[in-house]
Amino acid sequence: MPATEIEWSQTEKEIAQAAFVKAREREVNATIETVRQAANAIANADELWRLHDFLSSKRHEIDGKYDYRYPVLLLVFSQLVKEGWLCLDELQGLAPDKITKVSALSRM
Amino acid sequence: MPATEIEWSQTEKEIAQAAFVKAREREVNATIETVRQAANAIANADELWRLHDFLSSKRHEIDGKYDYRYPVLLLVFSQLVKEGWLCLDELQGLAPDKITKVSALSRM
């Protein structure tokens, strides 16, 4: 079945939304902590612009990765699981075939 | 006399170089302090990306402003004096007409 034809019940949408928000919050909070530590250690212009480069890259990455569209959502979740921003347990309540797919993709 | 025809003695060049470096160091250090305070207060993604926007803008501004080419240097110094990154006293040793010009431009 093509990804675009996956169906989502209302309950599944709520679980997915909560998991998505939670993962993004975790990644943003980790980024904030990294920025805080970096900022407190900056000693010169080169290090300041290195922090700017890091933020540019991270913003681009986060903007691109957190794509809440149902046809791509299982792929998004698999990446988040792979990177440690989301646990499979947090997807409990989705149809078993969805969780199986996320789990399989996250190991690829 | 057009700005491009201003002559700089070796001593003047050394004074100018030192003043330029000092001003940039001051502005970079002030930026680092601002970033440090902002980073320690960030609570969410919007504030994180606001810090990124600030850094993008400041980097662009600093890269453009610190232009060490003799034909434009008096104009650069006048802006630095105007913005408080440089004191006229720190240009002592330049020819009086140069200091007068920087002083006048800084009040425009």
The pLDDT tens digits of the residues spanning B22-74 come to 999 999 999 999 999 999 999 999 999 999 999 999 999 999 999 999 999 99
- Check residue B60 and give its pLDDT: 98
The pLDDT-based confidence of B6 (bands split at 50, 70, 90) is: confident
How far, in Å, are A43, B31, B76, B102 from residue B25 at the CA level?
11, 10, 15, 20
- A104 phi/psi in degrees, rounded to 5: -65, -45
- Check residue B2 and give its pLDDT: 53
The pLDDT-based confidence of A1 (bands split at 50, 70, 90) is: very low
Q: Which of residues 17-46 of B touch A (CB under 8 A)?
A: 24, 28, 31-32, 35-36, 38-40, 42-45
Tell me the chain A residues in contact with residue B36 when contact means C-beta distances shorter than 8 Å: 39-40, 42
Query: Among residues B71, B82, B87, B72, which one has the least CA distance to residue B105?
Result: B82
pLDDT at A2 over 80: no
Nearest to B32 among A24, A48, A56 (CB): A48
How high is the ipTM of this complex? 0.88
- A100 phi/psi in degrees, rounded to 5: -60, -40
The pLDDT-based confidence of B5 (bands split at 50, 70, 90) is: confident
What number of C-beta contacts closer than 8 Å exist between A and B?
Answer: 55
Q: Can you state the percent helix, strand and coil of chain B, rounding each to 5? A: 80, 0, 20
Query: Among residues B107, B67, B72, B80, which one has the least CA distance to residue B26?
Result: B80
Using alpha carbons only, give the angle A74, A28, A10 rounded to the nearest 5 degrees: 35
Q: Does A95 touch chain B (CB under 8 A)?
A: no
Q: Which residue of A has its CA nearest to B40?
A: A36
Cβ neighbours around B20 below 10 Å, total: 20
Owner of token pair 């990804």: A3
Structure tokens at B4: 């491009």
For residues B36 and A38, what is the distance between their CA atoms, to the nearest angstrom?
A: 9
Whether residue B54 contacts residue B38, with contact meaning beta carbons closer than 8 Å, is answered with yes
CA of B23 to nearest chain A CA: how many angstroms apart?
13
CA of B84 to nearest chain A CA: how many angstroms apart?
19
Render pLDDT for A49-97 as a digit per residue (tens, 0 to 9): 999 999 999 999 999 999 999 999 999 999 999 999 999 999 999 999 9
Q: Does A48 touch chain B (CB under 8 A)?
A: yes
- Check residue A51 and give its pLDDT: 98
Nearest to B48 among A35, A40, A48 (CB): A35
**Average pLDDT in the A10-26 region?**
98
* Contact state of A48 with B55 under an 8 Å Cβ cutoff: yes
Report pTM. Answer: 0.89
Distance of CA B67 to the CA centre of its chain: 9
Nearest to B59 among A31, A43, A52 (CB): A52
Q: Does B57 touch chain A (CB under 8 A)?
A: no
pLDDT at B95 over 80: yes
